[in-house]
Amino acid sequence: MSAQCYTGSKLLQDVHKDLTIPGQDTELVKGSYDYYHYGCDGLDDRGWGCGYRTLQTMSSWIWYQKNQSEEKSLRNVPSIPEVQEALVKMEDKSTHFKGSREWIGSFEISICLDYFYEVPCRLVHVPSGRQLVDHIDTLYNHFHVLGSPVMMGGDSDNASKGIVGVCKNPPSLLVVVRKNGESQRERERERSKPFQKEV
C-alpha cells in the first residue's frame, strides 16, 4: 500500500535513511513517508511548488501512520489542484487562486493538514536561519515525541523545505532538497547550517 495515490508514479520513500548522522543526540522522522518533489506528477511547478510538495510529503507521512492504526481508509495525498480548491473552500484564497502558480506557505500548509486529515499544527516563528539554533530543542522534542516531518520556510527564505531530522551536537537539521531537478544523493554540511540530503 502506498500514499502515492493520484499520480501512480514512483516516489522516493524515507530518503533520510541512508544518511550519515553528523553527531550525537539525533532524532529522525518515525515511520514512512514519500518524498514529493517538483514535477513528480507531471506538473511543472518549479519556482512555485515547494510548499505544495512539502505539504504532500507531510500528508504522505500522516497517510502511512493513520492507515496503519485506523479501520477506515484515509483520503489520499492531495494533488496541487485539490489543495488550491480546498484553500478556496476554506476562504483563505479567492477563486482566482485555483489553477494559479501562486505558492503556499506554512500557514496554508497547517490549515490544509487540518482540513484534509484533521491534524492540527503548531507554527513556530523563527525570523532568520541564525535563530534556528535557539529552536533545536523544540525540534528535537518534536521528532522524539511525534516523529512527523516539519515544514520550514518564510521570511527571508521563501523556499519551503521539509525537515526530517535534527541533531543537537553539532546543532544541525536534516533537510531534503532537490537540486536543479537532478536525482543526486549527496550530503552537504556547513558549521551551524542545516545538513542536507539532495535527491
Q: Please tell me the total count of domains within the chain.
A: 1
pLDDT at site 70? 67
pLDDT at site 160? 81
Residue 121 lies in a domain: yes
* C-alpha cell recorded at residue 18: 541512508
Residue 115 lies in a domain: yes
- Give me the domain span that covers residue 111: 12-198
Residue 36 lies in a domain: yes
Which CB contacts under 8 angstroms, 24+ apart, belong to 77-82? 77/3, 77/4, 77/5, 77/6, 77/34, 77/36, 78/112, 78/116, 79/6, 79/7, 79/41, 80/41, 80/43, 80/45, 80/49, 80/52
CATH number at residue 97: 3.90.70.130
Residue 91: CB atoms within 10 Å: 7
- Which tens digits make up the pLDDT trace of 33-87? 999 998 999 999 998 999 999 999 999 999 999 887 766 667 899 999 999 999 9
pLDDT at site 190? 31
pLDDT at site 9? 58
Task: Look up residue 152 and give its amino acid.
Answer: M
Query: Which pLDDT tens digits describe the chain residue by residue (199 residues)?
Result: 444 444 455 798 998 887 778 888 999 999 999 999 989 999 999 989 999 999 999 999 999 998 877 666 678 999 999 999 999 999 999 999 999 999 999 999 999 999 999 999 999 888 877 888 889 999 999 999 999 999 987 666 667 888 999 999 888 888 876 554 433 333 333 333 444 445 4
Report the C-alpha gap between 12 and 35 in whole angstroms: 5
* Among the listed residues 34, 111, 119, the one whose alpha carbon sits nearest the alpha carbon of residue 70: 119
Please name the helix (run of DSSP H) or strand (run of DSSP E) that holds residue 169, with its range, or none. strand 157-169
Cα→Cα distances 125→22, 55, 88, 134, 135, Å: 26, 18, 25, 11, 10
Q: Which pTM value belongs to this model?
A: 0.84
The crossing angle, in degrees rounded to 10, of helices 50-69 and 106-117 is 30
Contacts of 145 (CB under 8 A, 6+ apart): none
Torsion of CA 14, 18, 19, 20, to 10 degrees: 150
Residue 176 lies in a domain: yes
Contact (CB, 8 A) for 175 and 19: no
Residue 163 lies in a domain: yes
Residue 26 lies in a domain: yes
Work out whether strand 171-177 and strand 195-198 pair parallel, antiparallel, or are unpaired: parallel
